[in-house]
A and B are shown apart, each in its own frame.
Chain A
Amino acid sequence: EDKVVQSPLSLVVHEGDTVTLNCSYEVTNFRSLLWYKQEKKAPTFLFMLTSSGIEKKSGRLSSILDKKELSSILNITATQTGDSAIYLCAVGRGGSYIPTFGRGTSLIVHP
């Protein structure tokens, strides 16, 4: 059975802090790993990672995949209150991309 584990489950920080969220997986026929941000609504796409060691960046957010360690990290620098959300990691397998999501990391950023 495919497995995606995220840690920590929750995190409380102050504005300006840097956070690192972790995602580890056990998936047959790995295809890609995706990060999503979920506020009080549907998840929105952040990054898709398919190759090890290549960092993806978008503003203060960055992510990298380590296929040897079967894991990925999502970094957020200089956090803002608007970063408060649940961050979901999903891993896709197979030719038709069948996704498995982790439980998510709940991030709360205090002013």
Chain B
Amino acid sequence: EAGVAQSPRYKIIEKRQSVAFWCNPISGHATLYWYQQILGQGPKLLIQFQNNGVVDDSQLPKDRFSAERLKGVDSTLKIQPAKLEDSAVYLCASTHRDLYNEQFFGPGTRLTVL
């Protein structure tokens, strides 16, 4: 079974630029999560999708972050414009509809904002 795919793996941008991350979950996994993990901290949930609907986005900074999962499969997370404090690893995870507690994580995208 192929794992959760993410791209790019690394990205370096200047502050105020825009960036987008892509995630393709495990086939058949209805729930998809985006997390932000700042160095030295645990992952912080940004947004959770169930199919193409948003379950929770209470911690997503909506003035600069947006995410979509239009067809209920892959997803994109965008930051526009980026700030220095957005430097982090962005993790995508997915879960099977019936095993919703066990999350499978992708390799992450390491973002550096200069």
Chain A residues with CB under 8 Å of chain B are 4, 6, 31-32, 34, 41-45, 48, 88, 90, 92, 96-104
Contact = CB atoms under 8 A, between A and B. Distances in A.
Given A101-B43, A103-B40, A45 B48 contact: no
A41 B41 CA distance: 14
B41 A103 contact: yes
Contacts of B35: 101
| A interface, over-half SS | strand
Contacts of A99: 33, 45, 103
Contacts of A98: 45, 48, 55-56
Interface string B74-101: 0000000000000000010101000011
B48 A96 contact: yes
A4 B56 CA distance: 18
Given A48-B102, A101-B43, 20 more contacts: A34-B101, A42-B4, A42-B93, A42-B108, A43-B103, A44-B105, A45-B102, A45-B104, A92-B101, A96-B50, A96-B55, A97-B95, A98-B48, A98-B55, A99-B33, A99-B45, A99-B103, A101-B45, A102-B42, A103-B42
Contacts of A101: 35, 42-45
A42 B91 contact: yes
Given A41-B108, A42-B107, A96-B56, A34 B42 contact: no
B25 interface: no
A88 B42 contact: yes
Contacts of A92: 101
17 contacts: A34-B103, A41-B107, A41-B108, A42-B91, A42-B108, A43-B105, A45-B103, A92-B101, A96-B31, A97-B31, A97-B101, A98-B56, A99-B33, A99-B45, A99-B103, A101-B42, A103-B42
